[in-house]
Chain A
């Protein structure tokens, strides 16, 4: 157990809908990264939040957006859901950027199915 929590565990949505996923970081960690893992693939970086601001973004469209709150928890919002958005969404927490060793620890993930 890493101490990183995510909710909900599973979610089923239909195309065009919007979804919000939540993550609470491990104690002592103030940086949260989000990844998307499609079946049979490695996780793909969506974005990272540090000090409530986006600190790097992967190749995902603007309909993927996020927030970080003062208690370091974070949300991932996806608008206008598409079938290809079906995946395991992973949240990882870590120490501040640049602070060695700065390993990332994953939560249990949210399995999103878009019908």
Chain B
């Protein structure tokens, strides 16, 4: 079982619709959760972080965390063509273990 699992996609969503990206993790000791966006040929860019159960909203992005189900998701509202990228889910144990463990990413394409 992979430590962090994401559907590799590609996920195609019409412009203006909601894109829903999912991630599950196996380490119950994980404390911090991150979503990074990576455009082709570029480095990952942090777009959301979440540390407690529930929803966290930032503009068009909403991160959702359910530690009991070991599940974290990212919703993108009013999807734009510029949102087309690979989205990487990352988890971290904390308490002295600072490494990020990444999934393989979900490739998202927004269709105009």
Contact = CB atoms under 8 A, between A and B. Distances in A.
Interface of A: 2, 31, 33, 35, 40-45, 48, 55-56, 58, 88, 90, 92, 94, 97-98, 100-109
Interface stretch (B12-20, B58-66, B75-83, B93-101): B93-101
B111 interface: no
A60 to B, nearest CB: 12
B60 to A, nearest CB: 19
B96 A98 contact: yes
A41 to B, nearest CB: 6
Interface residues of B, number: 25
B43 A42 contact: no
B1 to A, nearest CB: 15
Interface of B: 4, 32, 34, 36, 42-46, 49, 51, 88, 90, 94-105
Nearest to B98: A97
Contacts, number: 64
Contact of B34 (A2, A58, A103): A103
Nearest to B95: A98
Contacts of B98: 31, 33, 48, 55-56, 94, 97, 102
A108 B102 CA distance: 18
A55 to B, nearest CB: 7
What 7 pairs between A and B have smallest CB-CB spacing? Answer: A42-B102, A45-B99, A106-B43, A109-B43, A97-B98, A42-B104, A106-B44
A109 B39 CA distance: 13
Contacts of B49: 101, 103
